[in-house]
Structure 1
Amino acid sequence: MKKIYTALLFSLGITVASYARTEKGAYLDANLPTEQRVADLLSRMTVEEKVGQLLCPLGWEMYEITGPKSVEVSQKFKDLIQQTEAGMLWATYRADPWTRKTLDNGLTPEQAARAGNAIQKYVIENTRFGIPVFLAEEAPHGHMAIGTTVFPTGLGMAATWNPELMHTVGEIIGREVRSQGGHISYGPVLDLSRDPRWSRVEETFGEDPLLAGRMGGAMVGGLGGGDLSKPNSTIATLKHFLAYAVPEGGQNGNYSVVGKRDLLQNFLPPFREAVDSGALSIMSSYNSIDGIPCTSNKEILFDVTTDWGFKGFVVSDLYSIEGIHETHHVAPTIEDAAAMALNAGLDVDLGGDAYRNLVSAARSGKLDSGALDRAVGRVLTLKFEMGLFENPYVKPESARSVGGFRSGEVAREVARQSITLLKNEGNLLPLEVRPSMKIALVGPNADNAYNMLGDYTAPQPEGRVVTVLDGLRRQQPGIEVKYVKGCAVRDTSTADIAAAVRAALEADVVIAVVGGSSARDFKTSYKETGAAVVDATTVSDMECGEGYDRETLDLLGLQPQLLKALKETGTPLVVVYIEGRPLEKEWAAENADALLTAYYPGQEGGNAIAEVIFGKYNPAGRLPVTVPRSVGQIPIYYNRRAPQLHPYVEGEASPRYPFGYGLSYTTFDYSGLNLLPGDDGTLTVEATVTNSGDRDGEEVVQLYLHPEYAATVQPLMRLADFRRVSIPKGESRKVCFKLPVSAFEIIGPDYKPMLQKGSWDIMVGASSADIRLKGSHVM
């Protein structure tokens, strides 16, 4: 009778506040096992209350700032809870042009903590069971909220080839999210990027499954590794499931052409490693594979994750459930789409509108038996394990440490380690500083704070972000740095290339900072999903970031003309690319004296770039993606299957810069390859690396494998392990890799892993195209 009465209240839109705190049950006993608490609570809930736990609406309109230290829930939130009892909110603390939250009307970290507390208090006191709300926040390269630490984007983090550093990044992100009252961090992004035209390459860890898995798994470990009893643990949400980064034509969300074997061998392993590292949430993707939308694909959402022993929940990407009906056209109604998604194993609706239809779908029999309870049980389990029923609130004062000094130092170290030296003709770099030295700093990205940061970044206060101009002046205050913008990234209506040329003629060296931008602005239009809309009437710097797919990889605007004019002056030319995707570098590779890529280096990027240019830091970043010569080579990635590529009519088939490539200010020699088979089938690979130059430095030693013959067509080579090793000048280090038996497995003809017997090539080198040592091993 009580369930019927509660359902009637929901249907009439009447609050159930009269029930708040009046029902006591086993679910409130913290001494009981989680499974028993979940079962007890589920037995008491109505269908409407269960569905509410699966809704994750947009959160930035759910609070009102009423004073410097006073934040209250909004009427919109009260209405939401009265109507749905939503169990989650997304992006409550987010600030950016899409949300229209700025430094003036957004939340400081302390205010964010107060907002979270107000939200929890209202839900606990105004719902029948007082179930706390999960607050999910975007955090792919730092929490996307005001005052938090902005690390380099995923591509830059991957360029460090340093999982230990990623663990530290995860720890900082987790602490900053949890101290403000958040619980779920969206990230890391584990999509494998094979098409640089795609708008979201910057978010990924590159093209290789082992590198992506190692980096992502390390970040998940830093986020708590799935132990929700830790005070700074978050529920890490892995994005995007599955094969989202290889859409036809590079078009975001488009159909992905990928085979089952490729999924098993390449696209699934990074997610598996992150799950094994403790990730408790996975986000579905907008694309479809072989005619099935990923948001309703039972084979990957339920069957695969069940095989992995995944204990968390699966969440849709924003409004992707609606996309089953509106975009993919495989469900005639939103209700049908909602039922398809839930039946396939998708637990939570990001956006929260589609799953409101589950109430009617349940009553009409469209839901599989137990599907609703299974999904709700997954969510409630994590709420209990995080201790939210006992400790739903945070101390606002603890949020004052967000974005603190140590966090900035780590952001600077990540930026340093990510910077990749691609060319250094005549050892122009590092610059030899003289008292009367004059530097001409030119280019649209030389002094633009937001172009350093990438997508999914909150507004920044003045002076928070160190630009290249800031960094050069801070690192060498005694030399003259003359800055001339020259041109914009895209806008051709205003430019002053002549002034840039004059500055170059008067300088000892020119540093040209070019590339792209994912910086959102308030002039750009956005889809309801948050993706930017390409609009010919709005010419911002933005040429990358979600929704900004490219048909070429050329520098846009007047940047090519600027570089050519600077070259004609005869002044030594250093070119630095700030970019979210591997842009075309043919001209720079042929004409620049030195060439660097810094990806989007984050808030400390300017300091890091200056330290590299002046030799205070010896660069050791390595490319996590292949850099093509032209778009005609796409898709191009190092671990493609045999046969070997042959030249095109117009040019070479080889890339401009290969996966794993990067130079140093010193040199490294490789020797002493030693292969030591173990009795258990493992293989230890030893090699000695010597710093033969005159500077201390770091080398990224890379180990690749290839079977001579195999049961299925294999990649020409694949990364099996790597180490970033610090070696003082004149010294040597022995690097040891221990390969498990699984390193010699392939996906067999029956789509199952199999040990590939026979001879394997063992290759150790400085990049995928620079193998220094080679041996063979028979399995």
Structure 2
Amino acid sequence: MKSIKLIATALISVFIGSCSSQKETPEAIIENKVDSLLNLMTLEEKLGQMNQLSPYNLEELAKRIRKGEVGSILNVVNPEEINKIQEVALNESRLGIPILVARDVIHGYKTIFPIPLGQAATFNPEIAEQGARVAAIEASSDGIRWTFAPMIDVSRDPRWGRIAESCGEDPYLSAVIGAAMVKGYQGESLNAPTAIAACAKHFVAYGAAEGGRDYNSTFIPERVLRNVYLPPFKAAVDAGCATFMTSFNDNDGVPSTANSFVLKDVLRKEWKYDGMVVTDWASALEMINHGFCTDEKDAAEKSVNAGVDMEMVSETFIKHLKQSITDKKVAMETIDNAVRNILRLKYRLGLFDNPYVVTPQSVKYAEKHLQTARTAVEQSAILLKNANQTLPLTDKVKTLAVIGPMADAPYEQMGTWVFDGEKAHTQTPLMAIKQMYGNQVKVIFEKGLEYSRDKNTKGISRAVNAARQADAVVVFVGEESILSGEAHSLANLNLQGAQSLLIKELSATGKPVITVVMAGRQLAITKEVEASNAVLYSFHPGTMGGPAIADILFGKVNPSGKTPVTFPRISGQVPIYYAQHNTGRPANPTEMLIDDIPVEAGQTSIGCRSFYLDAGNSPLFPFGYGLSYTTFEYSSLTLSSEKLTTQDSLSVSFTLKNTGHYDGTEVVQLYIQDKTGSVTRPVKELKRFQRITLKAGESKQVSLSIPVSELAFWGYDMKFEVEPGDFRLWVGTNSSEGLTKDFSVSAL
């Protein structure tokens, strides 16, 4: 065995020497290494590289590694065990190929950041990049070199639990935040010891699962696929994302794991992607359940022929593809290309040179990491309501009642997809308020409800009594972590349990009620907003949620988060999103609603328009919405030109003034509408955003630039181009309001 390895090393060295003499690029050197190693591999060893396992028995795993039957593992996080596994791979297998170790590190490893939906609420790609960088540093210290993030499915249905993992409903925001996460995970260079390979998932359209029910089918035509769901993935490719993952769903009857159109035609041919593609957990095998494959062999063949390189856990590849080669159902070239993509990734990660974990490392929960996570929460929290300047709390509040099941729930506030975070390190709002502001206010704590789904109302009376003794009430409600994430879909988006009753009873005391919601999705909280004097929304904030929220409540931090998703008034409005199409009969803001309709009204008396009789057409809160303790004024909007060509760039300038009494940060947003197209276009599309910080009374001239080429879309003839015509532009504080100007674009 050792002699074979020496021969392999010698052959690779010859190639390297040849490359060096010709001054080839590092990538060319890697390609030569890949090819030389590939030439030494048996078919069985190639199929082994395509096999990823989640081991339950390390001794059995070692046996299989020795035989060359494993290319990657996931869910092993002990660095000593990982080093033993690599020792077997390098010294006891025939060719000494290192194992790629993977783990779901979705929004933090030990230091847990806000869920991705919360990070998107910052409208700050730097926060997303920093969060992924911290996660990579901590995870790589335990030997993890590959993670299954970012999830950049455009998500417009909060019934779907995995919206928590997403960057929201908008393709542009998802593209910008997703690309930043890729850069954070992978760092400056993939072969750096703290870099972990990112994985853009789920490819593609999984966020449109029918009815918001996880794993369900989607029915997205190619034009919508290209205009809405593919752009974030293209941004991930452009950011250098090392791997892609296929999705569970079938789209228009074709499961993504066997969809050669998206995997070959789009990803490989159009986008020239040379990274590695992995299935989702057993998604190859599950194509039998879909009714798309007859058996395991059929599933393996359709997956690899469509462009999948590695199979996660279900092992149909290693069991059946050897026979498929014999049967000429799969070409040897297909296998070689898949293995080439896998080996290329391992070389890019530097695994052949540095396969082992250097232990011990004390990077977990580093003070810098905790501060970065705290800043992320500060920027992600969204102030939805602040009647009569209830917030921030002032020195007039001598006694504060802290109420609710989420006030001191360290596990729950970490949110979904937290395998490695530890609740002992989580700082809750109650803890933070007492520690940071306990010398300013007397804190009375009553949970009222034991957990978010609790229907036992016995504790509410104690909470009401506490409220009566206080000058103000902060009630923490929302969702336990188990209520969002994969397989956690909901039909009803209301607050669970007796939480609504708790807020209602607290409101009846007449004391100012500040409702803080910590959840994994946008909820239908119309009644709760009405019953509250102020509402702060924090998508599950993670480890440092407590201190950040406390500082916001007491005014040390001015909230600046914006909604990355549209909030419905009631569950029945979903899916509801800002970039809708107008229809031939768009809703009228003054439409008569159900309680206003006269008895025996005529069929057409209330107008024949596109809206709900019982909910209207407007959301509770629009996309991009979020208040501040200060106020901002937009004025003097000017365009560089109102007549442009397809080759021009449009510059937009306006004055932003902080007209309030607090320093603050505004997220300015630029939207564009293509008024008439060869196919109908959305009423608005986000094209730029920027965080602007101003002192009280300060004004600033803000400029945003957008190439006209970015107004291109896939039109009637399925060509991606800018169609000359008339456009409308908005700049403002959210997707529903702002200054506007028209401009036109002509062909050269």
The answer to whether TM tops 0.5 is yes
The structural deviation recorded for 1:684 is 0.9
Q: Is the 8 A contact 2:394 2:554 kept in 1?
A: yes
Change beyond 3 A, Cα 1:162–1:663 = same
For the Cα contact (< 8 Å) 1:20–1:126, is it kept in 2? no
Find the aligned partners of 2:323 and 2:433 in 1 and give their Cα distance.
62
- Deviation for aligned residue 1:219: 1.5
- Which residue in the other structure is 1:439 paired with? 400
| Alignment pair present for 1:556 and 2:496 | yes
**Shift, 1:141, TM fit:** 0.6
2:635 matched residue in structure 1: 671
Say if 1:728 and 1:320 are closer, same or farther in 2 by CA, change over 3 A.
same
Q: Deviations over 1:490-536 (max 9, x none)?
A: 13257411111111111111111111122xxxxxxxxxxxxxxxxxx
Q: Return the letter of the residue paired with 1:469.
A: L
- Cα offset, 1:740, TM superposition: 1.3
Cα drift, residue 114 of structure 1: 2.5
Matched, 1:51 2:47: yes
Correspondence 1:581 to 2:542: no
> 2:30 pairs with 11, 34, 41, which one?
34
Deviation at 1:225, TM superposition (A): 5.8
Q: Which residue of 2 aligns with 1:81?
A: 65
Is the CA contact (8 Å cut-off) linking 1:226 and 1:278 kept in structure 2?
no
Note the alpha carbon deviations across 1:552-605, whole angstroms, 9 max, x for none: 101111112111111111111111111101111111221210011001001000
- What amino acid does structure 2 have at the position aligned with 1:132? P
Which of residues 469, 477, 480 in structure 1 aligns to 2:430? 469
1:739 aligned residue: 706
Partner Cα distance (2:219, 2:470) in 1: 51
Contact 1:25 1:40 in 2 (8 A): no
Say whether 1:405 aligns with 2:401: no
The equivalent residue for 1:92 is 76
Of residues 97, 102, 120 in structure 2, which corresponds to 1:158? 120
CA distance 1:695–1:477, shift in 2 (3 Å): same
- Show the 5 A alignment for 1:251-400: 251-306=213-268, 307-325=270-288, 327-356=289-318, 357-397=320-360, 399-400=361-362
Q: For the residues of structure 1 that align with 2:458 and 2:206, how far apart are their CA atoms?
A: 37
Could you say what secondary structure the match of 1:44 adopts? Answer: coil
For the residues of structure 1 that align with 2:346 and 2:480, how far apart are their CA atoms?
Answer: 38
Alignment size in residue pairs: 704
Aligned residue runs from structure 1 range 60-79, under 5 A: 61=56, 74-79=58-63
Partners of 2:565 and 2:624 within 8 A in 1? yes
Return closer, same or farther for 1:480/1:76 CA change in 2, 3 Å cut-off. Answer: farther
Aligned position for 2:728: 761
Structure 2 portions without partners, runs of 5+: 20-28, 588-609
Tell me the SS of whatever aligns to 1:177: helix
% identity of equivalent residues: 36
CA contact (8 A) 1:20 1:127 kept: no
Q: Which amino acid aligns with 2:253?
A: G
Residue 534 of structure 2 is aligned to residue 594 of structure 1 = yes
- The more displaced of 227-236 and 706-715 is 227-236
In structure 2, what is the equivalent of residue 614 of structure 1? 554
Match of 1:139 in 2: 105
Aligned to 1:723: 690
Q: Is the 1:574–1:595 Cα contact (8 Å) retained in structure 2? A: yes
2:92 corresponds to 1:126: yes
Q: Hey, what does 1:661 align to over in structure 2?
A: 625
1:713 corresponds in structure 2 to 680
What is the Cα deviation at residue 463 of structure 1?
3.7
2:464 to 497, 501, 513: 501
Contact 1:441 1:484 in 2 (8 A): yes
1:335-365 C-alpha deviation (Å, 9 max, x unpaired):
1101100000011111152222222222222
Please list the CA deviations of residues 428-479 of structure 1 after superposition, one character each: whole Å capped at 9, or x if unmatched: 0001134x71111111111100111111113554641011101211220212
Q: 1:23 to 1:775 in 2, by over 3 A?
A: closer
The question of 1:212 aligning with 2:174 is answered yes
> Any runs of at least 4 consecutive aligned residues in structure 1 with deviations exceeding 6 A, and if so which?
none
What is aligned with 2:605?
none
1:330 Cα offset (Å): 1.1
Distance 1:139 1:392, change over 3 A: same
Contact 2:133 2:187 in 1 (8 A): no
- Residue 488 of structure 2 aligns with an amino acid whose one-letter code is Y
Aligned to 1:539: none
Quick one: which amino acid aligns to residue 364 of structure 1?
D
- 2:486 is paired with a residue whose SS is coil
Q: Give the C-alpha shift of residue 775 in structure 1.
A: 3.9
Instruction: Say whether residues 1:516 and 2:479 are aligned partners.
Output: yes
Q: Distance in 2 between matches of 1:165 and 1:138?
A: 20
Structure 1 position 684 matched with structure 2 position 641: no
Post-superposition CA distance 1:592-625 (Å, at most 9, x none): 1001100100100011111111000000000000
Counterparts of 1:162-173 in structure 2 under 5 Å?
Answer: 162-173=124-135
Amino acid at match of 1:137: R
Aligned residue for 2:741?
774
What secondary structure sits across from 2:400 in the alignment? strand
Q: 1:746 to 1:20 in 2, by over 3 A?
A: closer
Q: 2:671 aligns with which of 699, 704, 718?
A: 704
Of 642, 646, 661, the residue aligned with 1:694 is 661
Distance 1:353 1:17 in 2: 28
- Higher mean alpha-carbon deviation, 659-668 vs 550-559, is at 550-559
Partners in 1 of 2:91 and 2:35 — Cα distance?
A: 22
**Inter-partner Cα distance in structure 2 for 1:493 and 1:17:** 67
1:702-759 CA distances to partner (integer Å, 9 max, x unpaired)?
A: 0000122111100000001000111111111222111112222121112221111112
1:89 is aligned with what amino acid?
Answer: I
Question: Which residue is 2:613 aligned to?
Answer: 649
Give the partner amino acid of 1:231: P
Partners of 1:226 and 1:277 within 8 A in 2: no
CA distance in 1, matches of 2:126, 2:718: 33
Contact 1:137-1:184 at 8 Å conserved across structures: yes
Local SS of the residue matching 2:186: coil
CA RMSD of aligned residues (A): 1.8
Q: Tell me the TM-score normalised to structure 1 length.
A: 0.88
| Native 8 Å contact 1:760 1:777 kept in 2 | yes
The one-character-per-residue Cα deviations of 1:23-77 (angstroms, maximum 9, x if unpaired) are 5442356555122211111111111100000111014x35xxxxxxxxxxx3122
Deviation at 1:233, TM superposition (A): 2.2
Query: Contact 2:637/2:653 (CA < 8 Å) preserved in 1?
Result: yes
| Cα displacement string for residues 671-729 of structure 1 (whole angstroms, at most 9, x for unaligned residues) | 12121148841111111111011110000000000122111100000001000111111
Do the aligned residues in 1 keep the contact of 2:503 with 2:531 (CA within 8 Å)?
A: no
Q: Distance in 1 between matches of 2:730 and 2:401?
A: 43
Closer/same/farther in 2, CA of residues 82 and 50 from structure 1, 3 Å limit = same
Give the 3-state SS of the residue equivalent to 1:188 in structure 2.
coil
Asked if 2 retains the 8 angstrom alpha-carbon contact of 1:625 and 1:660, the reply is yes
In the other structure, the counterpart of 2:25 is none
Closer/same/farther in 2, CA of residues 675 and 177 from structure 1, 3 Å limit: same
Whole-angstrom CA distance in 2 between matches of 1:427 and 1:494: 31
Please tell me whether the aligned partners of residues 154 and 167 of structure 2 are also in contact (alpha carbons under 8 angstroms). Answer: yes
- Counterparts of 1:259 and 1:641, CA distance in 2: 16
Separation in structure 1 between the aligned mates of residue 675 and residue 489 of structure 2, nearest angstrom: 39
SS at match of 1:502: helix
Corresponding residue for residue 543 of structure 2: 603
